[in-house]
Amino acid sequence: MTLENDIRIVTTQTQTNNEDWPNLAYYHNENISLGLPIENEKRIVFMGDSITEEWSNLYPSFFSNRSYINRGIGGQTTPQMLLRFKPDTIDLHPHIIVLLAGINDVAGNTGPSTVKMITDNIFSMAELAMNKDVKIILSSILPANAFPWNDAIENVSSTIISINSLMKDYALSNGIIYLDYYSSMVDENEGLNSEYTEDGVHPNEAGYRIMSDLAEKTLLKIQR
C-alpha cells in the first residue's frame, strides 16, 4: 500500500458520514490488501448491509477457509451500495456476487424510498455486474413487519413482498438466480420467524444457519 493511499484513507475515516455517504473508506484498505485472485481462485463477494456484515460474526464457519468476501456495512441503503458497488465488489475480480439489499430502504434509513427507487438501484447493481461478465445472485429481502428503530413505517411486510416479487421477475427475465431466503424464514404474520431473530429484523445464529444452507445450495448450483 502506498503512502498516498494511507494518507487518503486516514483522512477519509475522520470525515463525517455526510462527507463519505456511501462509506467508500470502510473496506478501502482491505480491498487494496486483498490483491488479485490467485490461480483458480473463484472469489464470491457478499454485498449488503448489517445482515450481511454480521453474518461473519454470528456464523463465522460459513466464511472460514473459503474465498468468501464479506462486504456488508450496517445501516446501508441501496443508493449507498450502488455508489460503492464497483470498488467493493467488481474491482475484487469475483466469480460471483451475492447481493442482499433493500431492508434499510424500506425502513427509511436515508430518507423516503419508493419500491421502484429501491428496485432500480438493485437492478443497476446487477447490470454493473453483468456488464463485466460477473455472475450475480439477487437475494430476497428477509421478512419483517416492523422496525424497532422506526415504528412510524407502515406497510412493511407488503412493501417487502412487492420488492421481492419484482426482483424474482427481473432475475427470471435476465437469466439471474434469485435466492429466496424469505419463504424459509417468514412466520404467519409475514414477519421474521422468532426462532431466527431477536429483534424481528436481524437474524440470530439460527437464522444465519438457514441462510448459509440456502446460500450454499444456490452457489453449488451456479458453479456447476
Quick: pLDDT tens for 149-186: 999 999 999 999 999 999 999 999 999 999 999 999 99
Same domain? For 46 and 93 the reply is: yes
Sign, CA dihedral 45-47-50-52, equals negative
**Model pLDDT for residues 188-213, shown as the tens digit of each residue:** 999 999 999 999 999 999 999 999 99
Is the pLDDT at 11 greater than 70? The verdict is no
Q: What is the pLDDT of residues 74-126, one digit of tens each?
A: 999 999 999 999 999 999 999 999 999 999 999 999 999 999 999 999 999 99
CATH number for the domain harbouring residue 169: 3.40.50.1110
Task: State whether 44 and 154 are in the same domain.
Answer: yes
pLDDT at 6: 42
The three cell numbers locating residue 132: 463485466
196 shares a domain with 129: yes
- The residue segments making up the domain with residue 174 are 40-223
Burial class, 4, CB count within 10 angstroms (exposed 0-12 / middle 13-18 / buried 19+): exposed
CB 199 within 8 A of CB 213: no
Take residue 59 and report the three cell numbers written for it. 456464523
* Entry pTM: 0.91
Residue 47 shares a structural domain with residue 5: no
Statement to judge: residues 18 and 72 lie in one domain:
no
115 shares a domain with 72: yes
Number of domains in the chain: 2
| Domain shared by 116 and 142, yes or no | yes
Q: In what order do the strands lie in the sheet with 177-179?
A: 68-72, 44-48, 96-100, 135-139, 177-179
Whether 87 and 175 map to the same domain: the answer is: yes
**Which helix (H) or strand (E) is 183 found in, with range?**
helix 182-185
CB atoms within 10 A of CB 188: 6
Q: Do 13 and 74 fall within a single domain?
A: no
44 is written with which cell numbers? 464470491
- Let me know whether 100 and 52 are in one domain: yes
d(CA 167, CA 115): 11
- Is 102 in the same domain as 18? no
What's phi and psi for 174, nearest 5 deg? -115, 10
Q: What distance in Å separates the CA atoms of residue 179 and residue 187, rounded to the nearest whole number?
A: 18
Confidence at 17, pLDDT banded by 50, 70, 90:
low
The CA angle 100-207-188, to the nearest 5 degrees, is: 95
Residues 24 and 134 in one domain: no
3 state DSSP class of 181: coil
How much is the pLDDT for 198?
Answer: 97
Distant-in-sequence contacts of 21-29, Cβ < 8 A, 24+ apart: 21/80, 21/83, 22/76, 22/79, 22/80, 22/81, 22/83, 22/84, 23/73, 23/76, 23/80, 23/84, 24/83, 24/84, 24/87, 26/73, 26/84, 27/71, 27/87, 27/88, 28/87, 29/1, 29/5
Alpha-carbon distance of 12 to 2, in angstroms, equals 16
